[in-house]
Amino acid sequence: MFGFNKSSAPAFHNLTPAQFAEGLRQPGAVLVDVRRPDEFAGGHLPGAVNLEVTAPDFGQRVAALDKTKPTYVYCRSGARSANAAGQLTTAGFAQVSNLLGGVLDWPEPLTTK
């Protein structure tokens, strides 16, 4: 009832911006921005797909992704993406990583393309 038998370690990994950038170099890595579309349009990491975590169809849209590929999620500060990372691991994604500090701590320029 209280989850005493569960492991206290998260099923996803929280990564620093440097670790996150390194992970994105893996072949087949999927990059997901879980912010609102207006936030995404204002600037995002190159190659990211926008799947808003608070949208009613988030679970449905996530189901279309390949659960076997390393999946990297981020948001503005890391809170929404941690929530999304938890949902992804619950949905059966094998390798999920969250960007600590979100785009606020990302050292490289964002793109609007």
Catalytic residues: 75
The 3 state secondary structure assigned to 23-92 is HHCCCCCEEEECCCHHHHHCCECCCCEECCCCCCCHHHHHCCCCCCCCEEEECCCCHHHHHHHHHHHHCC
